[in-house]
A and B are shown apart, each in its own frame.
Chain A
Amino acid sequence: MKTVSLAEHTVRELNQMLHDQARQLTEPEWLITDPDGRHAIAAGLDQELAITIEGHAGYYCAGMNQRATVTVEGTVGVGVAENMMSGLVRVRGDASQSAGATGHGGLLVIEGNASARCGISMKGIDIVVGGNVGHMSAFMGQAGRLVICGDAGEALGDSLYECRIYVRGTVKSPGADCVEKEMRVEHREELARLLQQAGLDADPASFRRYGSARQLYNFKVDNADAY
């Protein structure tokens, strides 16, 4: 395992070392120490690396991740794993706003709580949150699954497209065009797989499913009050 201290190296130096691995894989395992909330740590990876960040990370940690497995042993700032394409990002602590924003693929696991707009504009990523999520989570979610083991804040799934949301706790309010839907067998099986992948112990039968009512997909004057 290669260890890089961000007290001794800049983020630029670290990321260049990690990006170089996309051309030639020589170090599959990395330990990043002294992150101290720095931004864009391990952003833009495109290799099957296993990276552990020992501490708290700032904005856009593991942004646009492809193939790598990144574990943060702390909390993360805005936009962790934003626009992730593939791979696995795990946050042991809490996450700030816009976690997994616009992600196209891969799995983001937040073992603690996630703040507002978790999974905003998600496009295929799977996000599993061990705790609660803030308001406007899965806003305009297009595809993928958002699993919330705790409670959801206001306007959950506002302007939702085809993203599926599973909630175990309470929902303060669903957003425009977001409705509770029947939890069928295939949904419980899907949820069980996601929880297993995330390594979180929760009974799929205790969750409810939310999705789009698909009433706002095309403009109708009778829906004007919803806009």
Chain B
Amino acid sequence: MSERDRQAGLRESATFDRQTIQEIQRAAATGIYDIRGFGAKRRVPHFDDLLFLGASMSRYPLEGYREKCATDVVLGDLHAGRPLHLEIPVTIAGMSFGALSAQAKEALGRGASEVGTSTTTGDGGMTDEERGQSRQLVYQYLPSRYGMNPDHLRMADAVELVLGQGAKPGGGGMLLGQKISDRVAAMRTLPKGVDQRSACRHPDWTGPDDLAIKIEELREITDWQKPIYVKIGATRTYYDVKLAVKAGADVVVLDGMQGGTAATQEVFIEHVGIPTLAAIPQAVQALQEMGMHRRVQLVVSGGIRNGADVAKAMALGADAVGIGTAALIALGCNHPRWEEDYARIGSAAGFYDDYHEGRDPAGISTQDPELAARLDPVAGGRRLANFLRVMTMEAQTIARACGKSHLHNLEPEDLVAITIEASAMARVPLAGTDWIPGRGGPGF
């Protein structure tokens, strides 16, 4: 509440605050739920609620600018003949051509390739731009199968079988008519201008037993050379991870509720799924109980923003992370340079989330040729590479301070929580205690 409101004796309801009132009024006026992009904006326990215990007397740190702290990771070596070797453990998560412009997809490929990591296709298939610029490209296999082509499957470096995503576990993709250009329509075999509400279930398998047979088919078609990832939205993570591994996944991609989306109902984004922080320990427990931790790799996404988040996710047991929203911001999304244009469409730099409208002033989440031309794929790729390098160096800085010569050597013992909620979810002690809520122990 502002000082002016207070002085005027105005009291805002905690239950019916201004935003809630505005949403009721909007729904009453339009008769449709609010759709937007980005990810969950509500505050949930997150990596900010964790801190590292740097080395001191009982732990031995590494020299920050001299001693080696390796960052490489191998993904998919359990069954695949050609696993992915990444130089850094930060990958680019799946985002579709259609949701993003061709220039944005190219820029993602350029940035990722420059630092030796992978990028991922999305709903709608593989474009020449992203295959051409991505040294290591993961091909998503989604319920809609838009643009699904066995030639692309064979051209990919890995296959990601998508069961769900953190922003909308249980929901399918959404690409509204205003973003369906001729090219997007042709790739998806749909009429131009149709609202594309992608399927949420795969059309030719149901349940984990079928999934095992589907994975077998994909391996047969790719001659057992490509790693098979299984991507899940974070909900019943413990069970989902066990079932994915049992079905034969080489890699589990776990996307928490803070994960981004190009378009989904606001109610879905904010009210379905669990925070990334709560999901990681469940996944790690499942893998450990199966004797598969580090053998089946765990890639975590959903709200990864900096090197500290990378280090914390890995300390909790992830082998690598994926970024989507942060990568778009690195390309130029929400940049103050376009402030006037944001204002013109009723938004502002730092708040823009209407990716579904296709009017992105930064030229990223659009199919408008004039807007898309605003993003130079080479310059965008360079910005992304810079950002990925900074994230990696930040994670290394923390790892060295904890005495680790490889990011993978970070462990839960290096972490404490500063809130009870984060402590319970991440299963690390509350700072200054040896207490983890729900885990027993002597208490304060």
Residues of chain A whose beta carbon lies under 8 Å from any beta carbon of chain B: 11-12, 15-16, 19, 39-40, 43-44, 46, 58-60, 63-64, 66, 78-79, 82-83, 85, 97-98, 101-102, 104, 117, 120-121, 123-124, 139-140, 142-143, 161-162, 217-219, 221, 224
CB contact list, B174-218 vs A, under 8 A? 177, 188-191, 193-195, 199, 203-205, 210, 213-214, 216-217
Cβ–Cβ contact B190 & A161, under 8 A: yes
Q: Which residues of A contact B214 (CB under 8 A)?
A: 59-60
Cβ–Cβ contact A102 & B216, under 8 A: no
Q: Which of B190, B193, B204, B220 is the one whose CB lies under 8 Å from A82?
A: B204
Interface presence of B432 (CB below 8 A): no
- Cα A58 to Cα B190 in complex, Å, equals 31
Cβ–Cβ contact B189 & A143, under 8 A: yes
Cβ–Cβ contact B210 & A102, under 8 A: no
Q: Which of B145, B191, B222 is the one whose CB lies under 8 Å from A217?
A: B191
Residues of chain B whose beta carbon lies under 8 Å from any beta carbon of chain A: 30-32, 144-145, 148-151, 153, 177, 188-191, 193-195, 199, 203-205, 210, 213-214, 216-217, 220-224
- Give min CB distance, A182 to chain B, whole Å: 20
Cβ–Cβ contact B191 & A162, under 8 A: yes
In the complex, residue of chain B having the shortest beta-carbon distance to the beta carbon of A143: B189
- Cα A39 to Cα B211 in complex, Å, equals 12
Q: Which of B189, B210, B220 is the one whose CB lies under 8 Å from A15?
A: B220
Cβ–Cβ contact B199 & A59, under 8 A: no
Cβ–Cβ contact A12 & B220, under 8 A: yes
In the complex, residue of chain B having the shortest beta-carbon distance to the beta carbon of A79: B204
- Cα A64 to Cα B224 in complex, Å, equals 16
- Cα A40 to Cα B31 in complex, Å, equals 47
Cβ–Cβ contact A218 & B220, under 8 A: no
- Give min CB distance, A116 to chain B, whole Å: 11
Q: Which residues of B contact A120 (CB under 8 A)?
A: 203-204
Known: A60-B214, A83-B145. A161 touches B194 (CB 8 A): yes
- Give min CB distance, B439 to chain A, whole Å: 43
- Cα A123 to Cα B188 in complex, Å, equals 8
Cβ–Cβ contact A39 & B145, under 8 A: no
Q: Which residues of B contact A16 (CB under 8 A)?
A: 223
In the complex, residue of chain B having the shortest beta-carbon distance to the beta carbon of A144: B189
Cβ–Cβ contact A123 & B191, under 8 A: no
Cβ–Cβ contact A64 & B150, under 8 A: yes
Cβ–Cβ contact A142 & B190, under 8 A: yes
- Cα A63 to Cα B32 in complex, Å, equals 40
Q: Which residues of B contact A124 (CB under 8 A)?
A: 189
- Give min CB distance, B180 to chain A, whole Å: 10
In the complex, residue of chain A having the shortest beta-carbon distance to the beta carbon of B194: A217
Cβ–Cβ contact B150 & A78, under 8 A: no
Cβ–Cβ contact A221 & B32, under 8 A: yes
Q: Which of B177, B189, B193, B217 is the one whose CB lies under 8 Å from A40?
A: B217
- Cα A205 to Cα B163 in complex, Å, equals 43
Cβ–Cβ contact B220 & A11, under 8 A: yes
In the complex, residue of chain B having the shortest beta-carbon distance to the beta carbon of A84: B150
Cβ–Cβ contact A121 & B213, under 8 A: no
Cβ–Cβ contact B150 & A218, under 8 A: no
- Give min CB distance, A25 to chain B, whole Å: 18
- Beyond A66-B151, A97-B204, 10 additional contacts (C-beta under 8 Å) are A40-B216, A46-B150, A58-B213, A78-B210, A79-B205, A98-B204, A101-B145, A101-B203, A142-B189, A162-B191
Cβ–Cβ contact B195 & A59, under 8 A: no
Known: A39-B213, A143-B189, A219-B195. A85 touches B150 (CB 8 A): yes
- Give min CB distance, B294 to chain A, whole Å: 27
Complex A-B: 8 CB contacts under 8 Å: A15-B220, A39-B213, A43-B217, A46-B150, A60-B214, A117-B204, A121-B203, A218-B193
Known: A121-B199, A217-B191. A64 touches B205 (CB 8 A): no
Q: Which residues of B contact A123 (CB under 8 A)?
A: 145, 189
Q: Which 9 A-B pairs have the closest CB atoms?
A: A44-B221, A221-B31, A79-B204, A98-B204, A102-B145, A64-B150, A101-B204, A60-B217, A120-B203
Q: Which residues of A contact B145 (CB under 8 A)?
A: 83, 101-102, 121, 123
- Cα A66 to Cα B150 in complex, Å, equals 9
Cβ–Cβ contact B32 & A39, under 8 A: no
Q: Which of A11, A64, A66, A104 is the one whose CB lies under 8 Å from B189?
A: A104
- Cα A139 to Cα B213 in complex, Å, equals 22
Q: Which residues of B contact A140 (CB under 8 A)?
A: 199, 203
Cβ–Cβ contact B221 & A63, under 8 A: yes
Q: Which of A46, A66, A102 is the one whose CB lies under 8 Å from B148?
A: A102
Cβ–Cβ contact B203 & A102, under 8 A: yes
Q: Which residues of A contact B191 (CB under 8 A)?
A: 161-162, 217
- Cα A123 to Cα B210 in complex, Å, equals 23
Cβ–Cβ contact A40 & B204, under 8 A: no
In the complex, residue of chain B having the shortest beta-carbon distance to the beta carbon of A142: B189
Cβ–Cβ contact B193 & A83, under 8 A: no
- Give min CB distance, B187 to chain A, whole Å: 11
Q: Which residues of A contact B153 (CB under 8 A)?
A: 64
- Cα A85 to Cα B335 in complex, Å, equals 43
Q: Which residues of B contact A15 (CB under 8 A)?
A: 220, 223
- Cα A16 to Cα B30 in complex, Å, equals 57
- Give min CB distance, A175 to chain B, whole Å: 14
- Cα A221 to Cα B29 in complex, Å, equals 11
Cβ–Cβ contact A40 & B220, under 8 A: yes
Q: Which residues of B contact A219 (CB under 8 A)?
A: 32, 195
In the complex, residue of chain A having the shortest beta-carbon distance to the beta carbon of B178: A218
In the complex, residue of chain B having the shortest beta-carbon distance to the beta carbon of A119: B203
- Cα A134 to Cα B14 in complex, Å, equals 52
- Cα A63 to Cα B214 in complex, Å, equals 10
- Cα A11 to Cα B223 in complex, Å, equals 11
Q: Which residues of B contact A117 (CB under 8 A)?
A: 203-204
- Cα A142 to Cα B213 in complex, Å, equals 26
- Cα A58 to Cα B220 in complex, Å, equals 14
